[in-house]
Amino acid sequence: MKILITGANGFIGKNLTAELHTSNENTLYEYDTDTEKMSLETYCRDCDFVYHLAGVNRPKNDEDYMQVNYGFTLTLLQTLQKFNNTCPVLFSSSIHASLDNPYGRSKKAGEELLSEYSKSKEVPVFIYRLPNLFGRWSRPNYNSVIATFCHNIARDLPIHIDDKAFMLNLVYIEDLIKEFVAALTGHGHKGEGDFYTIPLIYNASLGDIADLLYSFRTADRVLRFPKETFENKLYSTYLSYTQDAR
């Protein structure tokens, strides 16, 4: 299968491409900000499935939210239409799409554009509103608070918490990738309309997360937790930030 991945160099994109590269049956078209722009036409002409992961969540100007999160989505769909390519499109939206702020409005606009495209062209669309993500290759001070905590604690740097009781809804990157691969094969978890859901979401407070990470740092041996637990996944994430901290 020929698969187009926009935002291929981002946090989700890197993990997804690593997983899809394990299959010799897939040809991956990796598109990101440094990709030759004309490549998008070739990729949209030939692909059988699109993972649309490209987007911004911390631009310099608020106008960039709409320009990228909506504008590039429009460009992508127009390019697919140019070649009459009606392949499925999976879109990584955000829980912030329900909020009235520049980022949320841009993601909401992207969702609406895809839903309209799905109806008018009879194209399968998979929209995922993602909560907070954590796992390897997440950028500290950009992608997630857990990435920042892991990076700082592994280097004996301070962390800042305004409210230790603040609760986060969290998805481990490997669980997300499993769901995205399931969608590729027609086994994603269907929600309402064009929306799909992630079956495994954890809830934890900032204070509890920080306490766990500090306990990992001071442990004098390799810790072992049951595999499918939040503690194990958080520990695996923490370890990925210690490799270059020495």
Residue pair 198/189 in contact by the 8 Å Cβ criterion: yes
Which helix (H) or strand (E) covers residue 90, if one does? strand 89-94
Please confirm, yes or no, whether 103 is among the known catalytic residues: yes
* β 202-205/167-172 pair status: antiparallel
Residue among 29, 70, 103, 202 flagged as catalytic: 103
Residue pair 26/3 in contact by the 8 Å Cβ criterion: yes
Sole residue written with tokens 């280097």: 155
At 17 the pLDDT is 97
Residue 200's closest CA among 165, 181, 173?
A: 173
At 235 the pLDDT is 94
Sole residue written with tokens 């969290």: 170
Sorted by sequence, the CB contacts under 8 Å of residue 72 that are 6+ apart come out as 6, 54, 55
Sole residue written with tokens 């998979």: 126
Sole residue written with tokens 């608070």: 145
User: What tens-digit pLDDT sequence spans the chain (246 residues)?
Assistant: 999 999 999 999 999 999 999 888 899 999 999 999 999 999 999 999 999 999 887 777 888 899 889 999 999 999 999 999 999 999 999 999 999 999 999 999 999 999 999 999 999 999 999 999 999 999 998 879 999 999 999 999 999 999 999 999 999 999 999 999 999 999 999 999 999 999 999 999 999 999 999 999 988 777 888 888 999 999 999 999 998 765
Sorted by sequence, the CB contacts under 8 Å of residue 199 that are 6+ apart come out as 175, 179, 189
Task: Give the side-chain half-sphere CA count within 13 A for 155.
Answer: 15
Sorted by sequence, the CB contacts under 8 Å of residue 145 that are 6+ apart come out as 132, 168, 206, 209
Residue 12's closest CA among 49, 71, 52?
A: 52
**Domains in the chain: ranges and CATH:** 1-130 (3.40.50.720), 131-171+200-246 (3.40.50.720)
At 22 the pLDDT is 87
Which helix (H) or strand (E) covers residue 129, if one does? strand 125-130
Q: Where are the alpha helices (DSSP H) in 4-52?
A: 11-20, 39-46
